[in-house]
Every structure is written in structure tokens, then in C-alpha cells.
Structure 1
Amino acid sequence: MKVYHVFLAVLVGVAIALAQPYLGAAFMSDRVDQVKAIAQEITVLIPETDPQSGKTANGSGFLIARQGNTYTVLTANHVVCKNQSEPCNDPRPGLKVVTHDGREHRLNFNTVKKLPQVDLAILKFESNGNYKLATLGNYDTDHNSEREVQLPNGQIIREYGHFVFASGWPGINPPNISELKYRFSVGRLLPENRMVGFRIRPPEEGYQAVYTSITYPGMSGGPVLDTEGRVIAVHGQNEGTRVSNEGSSGRQPVLIGYSLSIPIAEFLNLAPQASIPLNNITVQTNPPQALNQDDIDAIGTEFVFAGMQEQNAAQPNSAVYWANQGNQYWRALRTEEALGAYEKAIAIDSEFYPVWYGKGLVKTFQEKYDEAFASYNQAITILDKQIAEFPRETERKERREWVVKLRDQIQPLMANSSPPTIPRDNSPAPQTQPNSTVQPSPPSPPPTAPLSTPEPQPETQPETQPGWLW
């Protein structure tokens, strides 16, 4: 983290179209370093190898208890089992556990226990190593999740959500992820009343917590930590589908979306039903302490560098560029700035469907469901045209299915609203030609923030220039 602080100081003056981050205070906080250190030590890699095909994949998990030399790992059930049956009748082959020190531990599948209904499971392994265990945070995460804050320039803004951190091991999926590498990603947990339009998974799976950290397939089962390093949720779902713009410069990736997790309270409530003892598990019920300015600056730096580390070559006058700016604002729950950037993208290319999808997400968060419905439908209309033009590709079909789910999720919320401006489309997506080859879509890289840009031009800057990115 300290390296980031020094590097960021060097970059002061470099134009970042999103905003000029507030850098008035020296970055002296160790808060993010401490949380990341905890996350790395408690997070485990759960790889699988199919002995017949030789194919490999992985999930994540975290250490929650130890009794003698027996460690207990909490993870998502789909990491260890191909279905949600109780008990598992279709286990994933060749599973093992790899701790943060790189040591591999054999997994006896007989130790796997699925929790009732929800997509959670525990497993055990034997080791004489001395590994750190997670502290679970079981408290009201919605407390003070919407608040007014004053920026250094005196501006009063409405701020949403608490900072959280996702920890896990994204699976290798070329060309986006070419090596197995641990990832730690900052985001914000959506307030309870803003999650309604995003909970598209079946309620019985337990995915009730929505947050904005960038996550990838392979991070399922990993911990979601608060600012004191306590695990408050188990990550399990993201959109996992790349969206891109096909232009003369090639495919330029864009990631718009959010992540889903299961609150730790679900595990604590259901563990006794699965005969899982809680006496060796550490649980704290107090909310985290308020962040000071150094903490906020340090976490904000993490936001900026999440985009900088995997910067692409999108031009500042392109729809991709402005979509990525809007995405990063959306991840920080800066909704008006996100909409401003999306409008810039639409002005450049009104047929770039990820921007309409992004607008739908923001409008859903703002509880403007009619406008969200119209934006989702616009994205679907554009996707239908492109699916018909490129019938062999699966990416757009997968994206369409996701957008349709989100659109249909907010339909009941529009009961007391005026009719949507765009008629609901119930038509199926154009079908793939019989001889087409279906390839899995790799996960998207995180939203980007440019390392350098030309001098700002009035026609390419969002209308609102906030004092903070975060």
C-alpha cells in the first residue's frame, strides 16, 4: 500500500478524466494493508483437476476454525459440488486446498457438509501448520449506510454504502487472465433498500448482499471483509461475462455490473441445522469504527489503482473510454457522475449496448424503475440486432439473458409507477445456428482509469467534476 502512495504522488498532475482525487493528506494509514494481510492469510485456493479430461478450474474459501490439526474451511457449495443437492451426489473431481504459504492439503470429500438450502458448504483438511483464522462479523451492515458527508471543498454530498473488500483466486481464462494470481478488490456494500432490484438469484440460495467489488469466476467462496478485516459475507456470484466494443482497434473490454454474496449471518443461523459446531469460531457483533481521513484516502487510492493496473488503450473520445469512466463511478456509487459519463458514451455511439445496461443499473440503484426498465429494454433491442448479425457468438446471448433477468426483477417495483416508455420485450433471443461452436466467455477485466490523457476538452468531460473519486 505504501508503494501505491508514493507512486500516486508521482502521478499527481496526470489527468484522470474521472476526477482529480483528493490528495490533501499524506497517505499514512495502514488500514488497507492490515485488511489485505488478514485476507491473504485466511483465504485458500480450492483447485480441481478432472482426471479424465485433465481440465483444471478453481474456487476459493477461507479458514474459520481449528481443532487440533484439523482446519475448517467455509466456501460456496458450488465450488465443491456441481449441484445443490443434500448431500452432494456430484462432487467436483480432484479437489484439494492450497493455503497462503503454497502448501497443498488433501481433501477428504467425506468432510464436506452443505448448509441447508443456501449455496454454502464447509470442508476440512489436516495440517500441522499454524494458520490464521477468520474473525466473522455479525452485525447490522445497513447501519449508517446512507449519510451526508462534506468534501474538503465544502460540498455536501449523499454517500452510500460501506467499504468492503473481496478476496480470492480468479481462475485462468485466456486472454483476460493468463496466470493464477491472488486478487484483493475494494468496493462498496449497497444499502439494504437499494439491493432489491439486483437480487436476481433464487432467494433460497442466500445471495442477499450486493456489492460493487470487481470479482471473477474462481473467487467464489472467498471472503468479503469489512474495514477491520472481519468476514461479513461469502462471495459467490458475479456477472462473469465480458462485454466489448468491436472496432477498428480490436475488442476493447468493458465491465459493468456488481457482485453477489451470502451474509455471514446466514451461515451462523444455519450451521446448527447441519451439525456444524460454532464453539471454535470467533464472531464479533460490534460494527466497525468510523474511518478517519487517512483511511478514506488510502482506500480511495486502492480504487484508483484497481483501474490503473489493467489499463487498456481506449481513446478519450471513444464510447469505451466513457463507459469505463462511468463504470468506475458506478463502482464507487457516485451515480450522477456515472450517468454523466454514460451520456458522453451514448453521444459518441448510441448503439453501444453496455452503456444502456450501465444506465439501467444506476437508475435501478436510484429507484427510478421506469427509467431503468427503458434502459434495459434499449440494451436488449441493440443486443437482438447484434445477435442476428453475429449468430455464432455466445457473449451477447449471455449478456441478454442477464439484462432480461434484471429488467424482469424490477417489473413488480413499477406497480405504482407510470408505464415504461419502451414496451416490454418478451421475444426470445435469436438462436445460434446449428453448426455454430459455443465457447465459454472469459471474465471481464476491471473498469479502467487512464494513466494519461490529452488536455481536457470541454466536449469530452462529464458535466459534474466531484472532489473525490471515492
Structure 2
Amino acid sequence: MNYKYTIPTLFIFTFFTIIQPTTAKNLSCNKEVDEIAQKITVLIDINNKDNGSGILIKQEGNTYTVLTAFHNVKNTSLKYTIITPDEQRYPIQGENIKPLGTGIDLAVVKFVSSKTYQVAKFGNSDLIKRGDNVYVTGFRLSTPSIPAPLYDCFDGQVSANERQRTIDGGYNLVYTNSTVKGMSGGPVLNPKGELIGIHGRGDEYDNRDRDRFAGIPINTYMRIAAGVTDKPSIRGLTADDYFKLGFKKYEQKDYREAIVAYTEAIKINPNNADAYYNRGNVRDDLGDKPGAIDDYNQAIKINPNYAYAYHGRGNARSALGDKPGAIRDLQQAVKLYQQQGGNEKWLRAAQDRIRKLQ
């Protein structure tokens, strides 16, 4: 088996210190989700007169990436400022605003800060179905009586999640959350507090009172960022193409985009053990140990002699406190490394790990 593009299992631990923003009162929003949302939702000040909202989605050193609706930042003649949950202000230069996709109302905005902010954890918007509970947060516009934008959170249910075609602007996720102006670009979260969409439209968009509000599914962003589409055959890309793309995204530390690419490879070739293994490593690096174990399980199911997968699953089980399971997996990895040869580095690593666990 060729392991040229396989990824060694890594462990990354990030600690965040967050200051809570001022919020408006809304007792209907799930408390746990609301606490997460307050930490990842930013205010986008527009010319000191208007505002939109955005989501902290990535940190690379001192550079943060905010995902928002493109219509919030499309006017190049206006001045934009990101205001973080600790009320720090970060003026945005035009070159740090990047629209995404074709005909999709999304953009990313970058700013630099030495402070530590929490970033959103992504969910899988493809799994969202009609009737699921969702939460939309953002900053409502200021009013004469309240002359400052206020954070708020609204709950509701999904009305539709269109996945077969792209609705105007990419607004395929429709829900009943009664949002207000200023919240465009804010997060749509599932009950776990995972980001599954970017809010951007309400009744006022087409001046019809239909109690319909809409967002762009997070998987739309992920596919654009990873350079893949919903229908890979249109572009003629093979499973191997997506596999290599996943490896490239991993090397660039674009972990979520790497997951999308590996997922596309698996869709085309469900028997690709290496794709499951690599996706498991990416999930492990993102802290999703149960998800990583699921992928390692699939890799082992396809290839029962996959030493690296046993090694990765052993490490993940150890991180979850399953010492007996971890030792069994690591011992199996050692056995296979010895049988297969040429893996001295990983053989020693597995043996060292077993000694530390015993």
C-alpha cells in the first residue's frame, strides 16, 4: 500500500480565554448554545452607521478569519470594522475582504490580533432536516431608544434544506427563526452549538410576510474553500484527485476543507481505506476523537491489516480515557508493524505509548 499521502496522527490542544459580550434578553434561546454563540459571533460595523454580523471560523497564528454574508461588505467605498466579543475594534482593509464562489452571498474577512478568541466548531449541514431545532445569533441594528447594536439569539425550526440545486445566493437553508436586520452574516447553530449555516435573509428581503428566513449551509462554504463541488463528476475529478487535494489542505492546516475533500473521495470510492484514515487524523487534530475513531473503524473494516489505523485509533481511545482499548489497538499496531517491516519510527512510537499507558 502506498502511504505517500497518509497523515501521521497529531494532537493539538488550544486553550481560549473569552470575555462575554453584552446581550439582549431572549429567554427562548438555548442557554448552552447562546453561551457558545456569544464567543464566536462578531459585529461588523459599517461606516459607523449600519452593521452586520459575522462568525469567527479560523485562527492561523495571529490572523483570524471571519465568515459573513458578502452583502455586508460588498461596497468598497465604505469603512468596515470588526468588533470582537471583548469589544476590541479591528479596522478592515479592502484587500482583506474576499468574496467566495460564484453567485453565493458569502465572504471571508481577515484581521490580525494578538488576543485569543474562540472559533466556531463546524457541524454537517447535509444532515439537517425539516423540523430540526436551530438557533440564529447576531447583532440587531441600533434604534433611537437603544443607540447601539445588541447581540441577540433566536430559536426556531428548519422548514427546508434544499440540497439538489442552488437557490439564489446559496440560501438553501430555510427556517422559522424570526431574525431582525443587522443579524445577516451571523451563525446558524444546531443544538450542539455547531455551525451549520450563515444567516442572511429574512422577510424584509422580498417584502413578503411569509415567516421565512434563510441561511447558506456551512457545507457550501466548506466545498468552496476546499475547491470541490456537490457534483464532482462535472469537473472530472477522480477519488485520487480529491484525496490529494485533502492532503494538500491538511498540509496548509485547512483542516475543515481537508475533511470535505476526503469526504468527496469517499463518496466516489467508499472502499478507500486511506481516505477514511486520513479523515480520521484530521478529525483527531480538530479534537473530534469519536469521529476520528469512526473513521479508523471504517479503515480497519476495509483493510484489517492497516497498522496506522490501529495506531491512530489507539491514540484516540487513550485520549478518551479508554486505556484497555488503547493498549489493545497499539499492541495490534506493533504486531503489524513488525510483520510488515519498514515502519521502525511508528513501531517505536507505538511501543513507547504502550509503556506509558501500562
TM class, shorter-chain normalised?
Answer: 0.5 to 0.7
Q: Does 2:77 align with 1:79?
A: no
Paired position in structure 2 for 1:99: 84
Tell me the residue number matched to 2:61.
Answer: 68
Tell me by how many angstroms 1:181 deviates.
0.6
The match for 1:47 is 45
In structure 2, relative to structure 1, the CA distance for the partners of 1:79 and 1:92 (3 Å cut) is farther
Match of 1:266 in 2: 220
Which secondary structure does the structure 2 equivalent of 1:140 belong to? helix
The equivalent of 1:320 in structure 2 is none
Tell me which of the two structures has the higher relative contact order, counting C-alpha pairs closer than 8 angstroms and 6 or more residues apart.
1
- 1:110 has 2:95 as partner: yes
* Residue deviations 1:249-281 (CA, integer Å, cap 9, x gap): xxxxx9751211100111011113499967345
Q: Provide TM-score, normalisation by structure 2.
A: 0.53
Q: What does residue 187 of structure 1 align with?
A: 156
Shift of 1:109: 1.8
Report the Cα offset of residue 216 of structure 1.
1.4
Please list the CA deviations of residues 16-38 of structure 1 after superposition, one character each: whole Å capped at 9, or x if unmatched: xxxxxxxxxxxxxxx92221111
| Cα shift at 1:140 | 3.0
**Given the alignment, which residue of 111, 116, 136 partners 1:125?**
111
Question: Structure 1 pair 110/182, CA: closer, same or farther in 2 (3 Å)?
Answer: same
Alpha carbons of structure 1 residues 270 and 162: separation in structure 2 relative to 1, 3 Å: same
Q: Which amino acid aligns with 2:253?
A: N
Partner of 1:240: 204
Give the 3-state SS of the residue equivalent to 2:134 in structure 1: strand
- Superposed displacement of residue 282, structure 1: 5.0
Paired residue type of 1:165: Y
> CA deviation digits over 1:143-183, x for unaligned, max 9?
xx4xxxxxxxxxxxxxx5111000101122557x7541101
Q: Is the 8 A contact 1:135 1:282 kept in 2?
A: no
* One-letter amino acid of the structure 2 residue matched with residue 218 of structure 1: G
SS at 2:177's partner residue?
coil
Does the CA contact (< 8 Å) of 1:61 and 1:221 recur in 2? yes
1:135 corresponds to: 121
**Which consecutive residues of structure 2, in runs of 5 or more, have no partner in the other structure?**
1-26, 229-244, 261-282, 284-358
Q: Which has the higher helix share?
A: 2
Cα separation, 1, equivalents of 2:105 and 2:205: 21
Shift of 1:240: 2.6
Identity fraction in percent: 34
The superposition leaves residues 87-119 of structure 1 with CA deviations (integer Å, 9 ceiling, x where unpaired) of xxxx25110100011111121221211111111
User: Aligned partners of 1:273, 1:60: CA distance in 2, in Å?
Assistant: 25
- Give the distance between the partners of 1:109 and 1:272, measured in 2 at CA: 23
Change (3 A) 1:227 1:99: same
Whether 2:172 is the aligned partner of 1:208: answer: yes
Which residue of 1 is the match for residue 139 of structure 2?
Answer: 169
Number of aligned residue pairs: give it: 214
Note the alpha carbon deviations across 1:425-456, whole angstroms, 9 max, x for none: xxxxxxxxxxxxxxxxxxxxxxxxxxxxxxxx
Quick check: 2:30–2:155 contact (8 Å CA) kept in 1? Answer: no
Write the letter of the residue equivalent to 1:163: N
CA change 1:35–1:282 in 2 (3 A) is: farther
Cα 1:242–1:179 shift into 2, 3 Å: farther
CA RMSD of aligned residues (A): 3.6
> What's the TM-score, normalizing by structure 1?
0.41
